[in-house]
Amino acid sequence: GRSGLQTMAPLAQKRTSLYGRQRAVTEAQARGQRQGLYYAYVTESFVLDDWDFSADYWRHWEALSKADPGIWAKVVGKILEQRDIYWSRASSARLLQVATTGSTRAVSSEPLLADWLLKLRAKPCLPDIRNMIQLPADLVRRTPETEALIDVEPFVHGLLDRETTRPLLDLLGVRSTPSGPGRLLDRLRALAKSDKAPAHEVEKWYRRLDQMLDGCSTADAQNIKNAFQAEKLILAQDGTWATSGGVFLAGDEEDIPGAAVVRASVLDLSLWHRIGVADRPSADLALQWLGTLASGKALSADDARRVRTLLVRYPIRIWEERGHWLNLVGEWAPVDTLAYGLSMQTLFRWSHLHEWVKRKTADFQRLSGETVQAPPFSALPALSDLVEEHFNQPSLLAGIEDRRAWLTAFGTQLARIELADAAETERVRALAEAIAATSWVQTPKLEVIPYLDGVPAGTARLTDILWLDGKLFVSPLSKAKLAKRVPEEIGRNLSADIRAALASGKALSADDARRVRTLLVR
C-alpha cells in the first residue's frame, strides 16, 4: 500500500547454471519455448536468470497444504491483490549461453515463464464460479469466444476475472479460448440418448454451438459438421432425432411426406446451413440420406418409419440406385441378399418364421399390387407361394370328410373367369378347380409347421383352418368366424375382389352361388 509495507512475500531473482544443449532445450520448452534455440557460441554452458519465491516460503506453504489444501488459492489470491508492478517484471526468465570468455548471449527471444509461475501452474490454486479450487489449466476465463461454454466448462471465479488480473491469469495457464466443441457435442449426445430430452435444454446447446461457430477455427467447425452428419444430434419438430442429412428447414408433403424438420424455435440459427441441413426435402436428397444408413443393420424406429415412407414414394429408384430394401426384421438389406418378397396381396402369416427366412424376405407390404407385380420387384418370388404348412401331429387329423355344395359351386363358377392377363387367368382357373374338388374335414386341433425348400422355416403354431392337399381342415369355429376364415384361407392367393366374392358366396345355397359369377367377371 502507500505505507510501503508489502502484503505478500517478495519475488527474488536467481541464477541457475545448466550444462548441455539438450538440457537447455528441455528447460526452455518446459517454460513455453516453441521455436528452436539459436546459439551464438560453440560452448555447452548456459545460465538461467529467473524469478522465484525464497525456498523457505515454498517449504512453509507445502507444510501448510497438508492440513489446508486451500493454501495455494490463498497464495495466488494475495498475488492477485498486488499491483501489476509486483509480478509483471518477475514473470519471465532469460536463458543465456556462456562463451569461453564469460560473455553471455540470449538463445531465445520468446518470453519464458518464471519458476514461481511454473510451480503455481501445477497447484490447485484458483476457485471456479462455484468456489471449487481447480488447477489453472482446467479453468476458462470469459471472452467472446468462450461465452458459448458457460455451464459446460469450469470458469474462473468472476471476482478474480478482472481487466487488471487477466494477464496474470493467462500466465498461470487459465484458458482464454475454447478447447473445442467436444463438450458441447457431448451434452447433445447425452440428451439424444435420454428417453425424453427437454426441448429447451437441447435448444440451449444448439444456440451455444451457433455462437461458437462465429469464432471457432476451421478444424473445429469441420468437427461440428462431421458430428452432425454422422450422429443423430438434431431434435426434429416431431420429437425424433436425426442427422443433418435426415432433417430439413421446411417440409414438402407432396414430394417427401412426413420428412423431419428443424424445430421452429431454433430455425433462426445459422448453425443449420453451416452443418449442411438442406432447405427442403427432395427425392435426390432422400436417396442421398438413404445412402448414409448402415448396410445390413436394423434401423431405429424413427429411421424405419421414414424409410418406409420413401419406399412407397420412390420404390424403383431406391431398389435400383441404392440397391437396398427393408427385410422382415427391419434391416436395411442389400437387394442381392433378398430371395423372396412379401406383399399385402396375399393373406400370409409370417411372424412365426425363423430369422433367416425374414432376413431373406423383402418387405413389400406397403407397395401396391401393381408395383409388386412389375419389375424389378416381380423378380422375387412371393414367400407365400413357397412356404408349405406341414402338420405337426398328423394322428390328430382323422376326421369325417364331406363336401360343401357352396364351395364346389364357387370353384365351378370361378373356373370360368376371364381376366385381362392370360397367365393370371390360367393360374386362377387352376386354383378354382382345386377349390371345386376340396373336401371339408372337421378336426379338434390344428398345429402346423412352415417349411421352405423342404427345410423347417419357423416354429409350430396352432391354426383354426388349413387348406392342404385338396382338403380344408377346420377346427371348431362359430358361424361368424367361419364366414371370415374360410374365404381368407381359400383365397390367400386370390385377388381382393375374388376373396370378397368368396365371402359373399359362403352363406349361399348351391343355386344362389352361381350369382357370384357376376362379381368375378367384370
pLDDT in tens, 138-184: 899 998 888 888 887 889 999 999 999 999 999 999 988 877 888 88
Cα 295 to Cα 332: distance, rounded to the nearest angstrom: 6
Close Cβ partners of 351 (under 8 Å, ≥ 6 residues apart): none
Lateral strand order in the sheet of 471-474:
401-402, 439-442, 471-474, 465-468
- Buried/exposed code over 173-187 (b: 16+ C-beta within 10 A; e: otherwise): bbbeebebbeebbeb
Cα 436 to Cα 411: distance, rounded to the nearest angstrom: 4
Look at residue 485 and give its three-state secondary structure: helix
Residue 522 has pLDDT above 90, yes or no: no
CA Rg, the chain, in Å? Answer: 40
180: left (phi over 0), alpha (psi -120 to 50) or beta: left
pLDDT of residue 5: 61
Q: Are 137 and 121 in contact (CB under 8 A)?
A: yes
Q: Are 209 and 271 in contact (CB under 8 A)?
A: yes
Tens digit of pLDDT for each residue in 236-250? 998 999 999 989 998
Q: What angle do CA 400, 402, 405 make, to 5 degrees?
A: 160
- Region 209-234: mean pLDDT is 92
Q: Is the peptide bond before 376 cis (omega within 30 degrees of 0)?
A: yes
pLDDT of residue 253: 67
Which one has a higher pLDDT value, 344 or 9? 9
Q: Are 52 and 116 in contact (CB under 8 A)?
A: yes
Which one has a higher pLDDT value, 355 or 492? 355
pLDDT of residue 503: 65
Q: List Cα–Cα distances, 370 to 381, 495, 510, in angstroms.
A: 15, 12, 34
Q: Are strands 439-442 and 471-474 parallel, antiparallel or unpaired?
A: parallel
Cα 222 to Cα 138: distance, rounded to the nearest angstrom: 25
Would you call 200 exposed, middle or buried from its count of C-beta atoms within 10 A (0-12, 13-18, 19+)?
exposed
Helix (H) or strand (E) holding 117: helix 115-121
Dig out the grid coordinates for 408 from the structure: 364346389
Q: Give CA 412 to chain center in angstroms.
A: 57
Close Cβ partners of 470 (under 8 Å, ≥ 6 residues apart): 434, 437, 438, 439
Tens digit of pLDDT for each residue in 36-59? 999 999 999 999 999 999 999 999
Average pLDDT, rounded, for the chain: 88
Would you call 485 exposed, middle or buried from its count of C-beta atoms within 10 A (0-12, 13-18, 19+)?
middle
Tens digit of pLDDT for each residue in 454-465? 899 999 888 888
Q: Which of 4-8, 74-78, 276-280, 430-434 has the lowest mean pLDDT?
A: 4-8
pLDDT of residue 510: 46
Tens digit of pLDDT for each residue in 295-340? 999 998 888 988 999 999 899 999 999 999 999 999 999 999 999 9
Helix (H) or strand (E) holding 222: helix 218-230
User: 164-167: long-range contacts at Cβ-Cβ below 8 A with a sequence spacing of 24 or more?
Assistant: 164/84, 165/80, 166/141, 167/84, 167/88
356: left (phi over 0), alpha (psi -120 to 50) or beta: alpha
Residue 270 has pLDDT above 80, yes or no: yes
Close Cβ partners of 193 (under 8 Å, ≥ 6 residues apart): none
- Dihedrals φ, ψ of 233, to 5°? -115, 5
Tens digit of pLDDT for each residue in 401-435? 888 888 888 889 888 888 888 888 898 899 899 99
Helix (H) or strand (E) holding 104: strand 104-106
Dig out the grid coordinates for 39 from the structure: 546459439
pLDDT of residue 3: 54
Residue 4 has pLDDT above 60, yes or no: no
Closest Cα partner for 125 from 156, 153, 152? 156
Cα 443 to Cα 393: distance, rounded to the nearest angstrom: 12
Amino acid identity at 426: E
Which one has a higher pLDDT value, 254 or 395? 254
Look at residue 391 and give its three-state secondary structure: strand
Q: Are 47 and 96 in contact (CB under 8 A)?
A: yes
Tally of CB atoms within 10 A around 281: 25
Look at residue 355 and give its three-state secondary structure: helix
Dig out the grid coordinates for 61 from the structure: 506453504
Residue 518 has pLDDT above 50, yes or no: no
pLDDT of residue 136: 93
Residue 196 has pLDDT above 60, yes or no: yes
Q: Are strands 104-106 and 45-52 parallel, antiparallel or unpaired?
A: unpaired
Look at residue 430 and give its three-state secondary structure: helix
In the numeric block, the cell 401393381 is attached to 370
pLDDT of residue 302: 86
Cα 522 to Cα 513: distance, rounded to the nearest angstrom: 17
Dig out the grid coordinates for 236 from the structure: 426434429
pLDDT of residue 107: 95
- Region 359-372: mean pLDDT is 93
Domain boundaries, the chain: 12-121, 126-172, 180-281, 388-520
Look at residue 200 and give its three-state secondary structure: helix
Dig out the grid coordinates for 462 from the structure: 396352432
